Chains A and B, each alone.
Chain A
């Protein structure tokens, strides 16, 4: 080949992105473009995170401390009053954040770990193993989740450990399905084949070639599933099969104060509002976090999908 033909320099070929930015700069651009709803979500989640981490410091009293007066109205000693057996409601709300959010987070992570790794294995393997796991998951999904969890909790007892394991496994099915389907799109890529041809083992291919490419949908799913798990555990607690007293949590707080929904019309008018709020406060805490996380996940999905508004 002659040199006269090689006037073309490979280095000079233009590529799509010309500006290199540090991670910090990219983050700043990302956040500067975040919509109001996302900021709302982030503020809510940040507050919850602080409360979860520092509950013992923030709470005025002990988690299960009982005072002489039950069902006390709002006052200076008890900012949000006391519950039926005389525990400080504000304290219980703060500890409840720690328990409910903490357990839900742990459960979701467990679900992600189980469902995610099985999904990856199934996607790579694509043979009898995929069939076995997929059909087992179908079977679990065919049973209504709440009934399934209630049954298992009745069998194994309602301890926090069995709660996490049972709910974690129930929700692992969703992660399995998602991971398997998004991985299938990545597994067929030439770079995965190239890694196989190189002789890489399955763990390396899963962790280094596939996982980084399916992370965005998994993170989004994690956010949403966290909310579902959170609501699910709150429902179980409301039904009395979740987190057991005296541990404070929002689901059981709603249940413990639910009678006020019936009794509010019979209390003196000036107190009605405060009594009515008793079951609503923990319910509101649940709702607020749900909405906040949803806003963040929406924003995240929008950013990572690569779609542009026209």
Chain B
């Protein structure tokens, strides 16, 4: 474990491993070369962990890959040098780079599930790169890999390597990928958002095992993320990027306690967003004793939730807890087996096709991935205009005027009318989705992880917008999320779900303050905080209290 803080003075004296000077990278898009990285310097010593943060499009992944002397197809180095242990990488022949990639520098990608070859066993893939070096026999490598699996706290380290990628969970796969990166004992590992796709409870495990291994083998690492709390746990030093340029750089504690630039400060302030809770009198939506199943596997057990008019109920839980399934039952996409959904005093038909247009209009939905929620071949005007025409019968000039009104409501303007989704940023896309939901003039909106795919600053904008709209139009939100910071920022009431059951339900303050049922405790304590000692303290505490993942030990969540 990293004894946080003591490291800086030692590390400065250690040898310089990676020295990137004035790196410029351009990308080809739209028939032109655009600068992506505009002259960034980066130094990394042996055994040091550097955190790269910034919003999407800031160039952090591009810079991370450039540290390997690699640019994605359609990108090129235009200036600067990348010195890795005395060798210049950016101009090196691909043939020579292959001797370095995978063995001396390895890379851990964001989506482990997409990065493994589904046709090979995990163990074979783990030792693939080391085998190429050829200095250790296959037997040695295999037992070394098993040892790595054990150190990464993977279940059944002896045999898990014999499984195929689809037979293990996402968090386990991410750890196997870390083992794969570690296997050749590289000098440098690039972690590109390795925990972004994981649940908070899993994230803690992956973070602590990554950190231990890096410390044990004295490996240098570049840790790319947009989650400040995560980077605070992992990095010795933090570099903030924006628009392909360095904003500032400092060691982690300095950076957290006294950031210098306004931009960095604004990044830091986002997580402090909080709204006072309000209780609601009139109940808009009630779901009672819902059971639901996909085919033979039952995913919801006796779920009951109440949503007051004009208020926000946050549904929290990790993936597989039935949050989204509950939303599908409410919308009628998945007819429930038992139980009732009552909306504004009347019971809703179970099936989507039995519901009236008016019933459909009053419940709208916003999705996590704004990219896939909008038809890429329709313009913003068409996307927002369709519900206006469909539900309210607005056409022609009248429709256009209303679309522009809606665009202004979501803090965009008429210039967006003719744009295609491709021409929008992530936050703008999500705003358009909000406008589409708003166009139907609904009583409630189901928000399914609407901010999880966005950067912190953009998240804040979206959350503020949703708040404002709720104030103006009295819309109720059923807000599905796994991020507790978001819950604090937006909700009045909280429902905690675990394995298809409601564990706890109540007003925000009551749920967020102890005592908690075991599962809520685990979920809440797993949310990273902006304190570099948080992970150490948490692991310490868990060791004493012997709280572990209830999903693994089969512990009853309600105890």
Chain A contact residues, CB within 8 Å of chain B: 1, 5-11, 13-20, 29, 189-191, 193-194, 196-200, 208-209, 212-213, 308, 310
Contact = CB atoms under 8 A, between A and B. Distances in A.
B365 A1 contact: no
B373 A191 contact: yes
B110 interface: no
B386 A198 contact: yes
Nearest to A191: B375
A190 B422 contact: no
Q: Which of A10, A15, A18, A196 has the most CB of B within 10 A?
A: A10
A29 B273 contact: no
B373 A190 contact: yes
Contacts of A209: 375
A215 B352 CA distance: 29
A11 B413 contact: yes
A16 B468 CA distance: 28
A255 to B, nearest CB: 46
13 contacts: A1-B468, A6-B461, A6-B464, A11-B413, A13-B428, A14-B243, A15-B428, A19-B32, A194-B436, A196-B333, A196-B352, A197-B360, A198-B440
Given A15-B423, A197-B333, A197-B364, 6 more contacts: A6-B464, A10-B427, A10-B465, A13-B427, A17-B422, A19-B30
Contact of B273 (A5, A13, A18, A19): A5
B372 A190 contact: yes
Given A9-B411, A10-B410, A10-B412, A310 B386 contact: no
Nearest to B272: A5
A81 B423 CA distance: 60
Contacts of A190: 367, 369, 372-373
A108 to B, nearest CB: 24
B385 to A, nearest CB: 12
B72 to A, nearest CB: 9
A8 B369 contact: no
B370 to A, nearest CB: 9
Contacts of B31: 29
Main secondary structure of the interface of A (DSSP, over half): loop
A194 B423 contact: no
A198 B375 CA distance: 14
B390 A212 contact: no
Contacts of B427: 10, 13
Given A190-B373, A209-B375, A308 B28 contact: yes
Contact of B352 (A6, A11, A18, A197): A197
A29 B243 CA distance: 28
B367 A10 contact: no
A16 B360 contact: no
B331 interface: yes
B360 A199 contact: yes
Given A8-B461, A189-B372, A197 B331 contact: yes
A10 B464 CA distance: 12
A199 B243 CA distance: 42
B423 A17 contact: yes
Contact of A11 (B28, B387, B411): B411
Given A10-B410, A17-B30, A18-B30, A1 B275 contact: yes
Contacts of A7: 266
B357 A199 contact: yes
A308 B273 contact: no
Nearest to A307: B73
B29 interface: yes
Nearest to A9: B411
Nearest to A4: B269
A303 to B, nearest CB: 13
Contacts of B332: 197
B369 A10 contact: no
A193 B448 CA distance: 13
Contact of B377 (A13, A196, A212, A310): A212
B74 A10 contact: no
A310 B436 CA distance: 39
B277 to A, nearest CB: 14
Nearest to B458: A13
A16 B375 contact: no
A200 B375 contact: no
Contacts of A9: 411
B469 interface: no
A10 B410 CA distance: 9
Interface in B11-45: 28-32
Given A15-B423, A308-B28, A1 B360 contact: no
Nearest to B448: A190
Contacts of A189: 372-373
Contact of B460 (A5, A19, A200, A310): A5
Given A16-B422, A197-B333, A213-B377, A10 B411 contact: yes
Contacts of B175: none
Contacts of B293: none
B376 interface: yes
A8 B457 contact: yes
B57 A1 contact: no
A204 to B, nearest CB: 9
Contact of B387 (A14, A15, A191, A198): A198
Q: Which of A19, A198, A212 has the most CB of B within 10 A?
A: A198
Nearest to A209: B375
A10 B461 contact: yes
B467 interface: yes
A33 to B, nearest CB: 9
Contacts of A1: 273, 275, 464, 467-468
Contacts of B364: 197
Nearest to A192: B375
Q: Which of B333, B369, B377, B428 has the most CB of A within 10 A?
A: B377
